[in-house]
Structure 1
């Protein structure tokens, strides 16, 4: 994709809408919608890198209640012709075809390469990548298995969604009660993942979420790892102007 002059590509991740409660997350949702409303005027494309919702599961005929402001704004943006891409996170990994059918937004379950203005990007949510975290990787294999999802569908949505939301907000980081801490490059699994990818192919940018911590780390003379932070405490996002990708903060107070 060649970005027209004056246009930009935007990246956002980790809103966790619905956590820890609808009432608490509603101001965050309104702020996110205000950001979408602001960037639609010069956006060439928008990338949402997962955990938009704190929990999402698509039954055959039911999706979780709420989030109409976000879904409506995304529909408006997409209907205007602006491409929107969604990468599932570990909290909304049970997405199927709802976004594709209702909003015309493609959904990706693995990192994917894109090229913008001759800059090569590797984009994804970031969970389960790199060395370590073996317990989560085993758990994820269970969660994404067709058999497990078939079993979960037998729960009435009122029970299934309520149980999943309860388990989700038990994590203090997700509920916003505890800040993520930078572990150092040698202990940041996504940094190690990016460095290993560079051993076999050249990239300009690696863009991920998941860590809830805004980070910009030079991996070599040309490649940079960017973690987008979150919309719980930081309200940070990525902006690519056709030449450089940088983190910015949305500071509008509603």
Structure 2
């Protein structure tokens, strides 16, 4: 992808809309929509790296209630011709066609490679990557299994959504308190994962979410790991202008 002169690639992650309640998250949602309104004027593309929602499950004919402002703004931007790319996170694993069919937004379930102006990127949400976290990795295999999704769909949506949202809010990853503890450059497991991938192939930037902590770690002279932070505490996002990548904080109310 060639970035036109004056345009930029934007990145954001981990909004967790709906947590701890729909009402409590609405100011954050409005702030995110204001950000989308601002960046659409010079965006060549927008990458959303997962956990936009604190819980999302698509039944065959039912989608979760709420998030109208966000979905409407994404539809508007997509319809205007600006590409939006979405990577599922650990809270919205169960996407199954709605974004593609209704919003024209491609959805990715694993990290993907992109090249912008000859600069290479590996992009993903970040959950289940790198060393450790074996308990979550086993749990994820269950959650994404066709049998589990089939079983969950047989429950009434009101009951299923209520149970799932309750369990999701109880997870401390939502607040970011557990994630937002810097482990050191050598121990940050997504940085460890990125260094391992560098042994296979060079990428200029590794961009992930999930950690809820804004991070920039130089992996070697030519490669950098970026974590985007979140829209719960930090309101940080990434910008690539064709040459340089930087993290910024959205300040507007």
TM-score (norm 1): 0.98
Aligned residues: 253
Instruction: Output aligned runs, 1:189-204, within 5 Å.
Output: 189-204=189-204
Q: Judging changes above 3 Å, is the alpha-carbon distance between structure 1 residues 207 and 104 closer, same or farther for their aligned structure 2 residues?
A: same
Query: 1:172: how far off?
Result: 3.0
- Is the contact made by 2:205 and 2:225 (CA closer than 8 Å) also made in structure 1? yes
5+ residue gaps, structure 1: none
Residue in 2 aligned with 1:188?
188
Residue in 1 aligned with 2:138?
138
Instruction: Output aligned runs, 1:150-169, within 5 Å.
Output: 150-169=150-169
Query: Which secondary structure state, in structure 2, belongs to the residue aligned with residue 167 of structure 1?
Result: helix
Instruction: Output aligned runs, 1:61-72, within 5 Å.
Output: 61-72=61-72
Residue in 2 aligned with 1:8?
8
5+ residue gaps, structure 2: none
Residue in 2 aligned with 1:59?
59
Residue in 1 aligned with 2:40?
40
Query: Which secondary structure state, in structure 2, belongs to the residue aligned with residue 122 of structure 1?
Result: strand
- Is the contact made by 1:58 and 1:98 (CA closer than 8 Å) also made in structure 2? yes
Residue in 2 aligned with 1:114?
114
- Is the contact made by 2:89 and 2:127 (CA closer than 8 Å) also made in structure 1? yes
User: Alpha-carbon deviations, 1:199-228, whole Å to 9, x = none?
Assistant: 110100000000000001100001000000
Instruction: Output aligned runs, 1:170-189, within 5 Å.
Output: 170-175=170-175, 180-189=180-189
After TM superposition, which residue ranges in structure 1, 4 or more long, deviate above 2 angstroms? Answer: 175-179
Separation in structure 2 between the aligned mates of residue 107 and residue 97 of structure 1, nearest angstrom: 8
Query: 1:131: how far off?
Result: 0.8
Confirm or deny that 1:80 pairs with 2:77. no
RMSD of aligned alpha carbons: 0.9
Residue in 2 aligned with 1:96?
96
User: Alpha-carbon deviations, 1:100-147, whole Å to 9, x = none?
Assistant: 000000000000000000000000000000111111000000000000
